[in-house]
Copies of this chain bind each other. A is one copy, B any other.
Amino acid sequence: MKQNNKYKIKQAALCLFGLKGYEDTSLHEIASSVGIKKPSLYNHFESKEEIFTSVLDDLLVTEETAYKQLKETMKAGFPKDNLRKLFDLYCQRLMTTEEALLWKRVTFFPPPQFKRLIEEKFFQFEQSITSILFDIYEDGSKLNIFREVDKIEFSASFLCLVDGIFLEHHYYREDIFQKRKNSVWKVYTLGIFRDKGE
């Protein structure tokens, strides 16, 4: 029961930190959304800062796990399909997970005391994605599917594309967002692939 509450505190904090930011979320809010009083939080965590770092650690583990699983399923597929799978997983997680909102907020506007920590996590996460992209590029090069685009350009433009989508998901309605996503994907694939269609 106590352990259950610790988990519920982290879930509540994940949502609230994502919605309102670290400073604008009070311990009172976190506690009351769990159904306990503020001082009881200190039975599970030493400080507000520890709640945050704990939530952030969990978040990264969740994301890393999702992309590691993807990497496994990609072994059998063609590079073009794998790239699309990576794109789809990214968009799907962006739209459906509680983690995405907090991740957006802290990579963009880290609370000053956590800036270093968040940068480390960010580069670690980006490394995972880049390693998948490099694998796809190597496989695709052997099949000669790419236009005159090197590995770095291929990866950088993919990451910039998903960063843009990441941002646009925030301020467009769902239907407009879907159209945007499709347009952007079309132009990207026109840019990198030798053959227009499949």
Contact = CB atoms under 8 A, between A and B. Distances in A.
A168 interface: yes
What is the size category of the interface that chain A forms with chain B? Answer: 35 or more
A163 B157 contact: no
A165 interface: yes
Interface stretch (A28-36, A41-49, A79-87, A147-155): A147-155
Interface stretch (A89-97, A130-138, A189-197): A189-197
A164 B157 CA distance: 9
Nearest to A176: B156
A54 to B, nearest CB: 22
Contacts of A104: 108
Nearest to A185: B157
Contact of A160 (B152, B156, B168): B168
How would you classify the secondary structure of chain A's contact residues: helix, strand, loop or mixed?
Answer: helix
Contacts of A107: 171
A164 B90 CA distance: 14
Contacts of A21: 21, 23, 109
A186 interface: yes
A135 to B, nearest CB: 19
Interface of A: 21, 23-24, 104-105, 107-109, 119, 122, 147-149, 152-154, 156-157, 159-168, 170-171, 179-180, 183-184, 186-192, 196
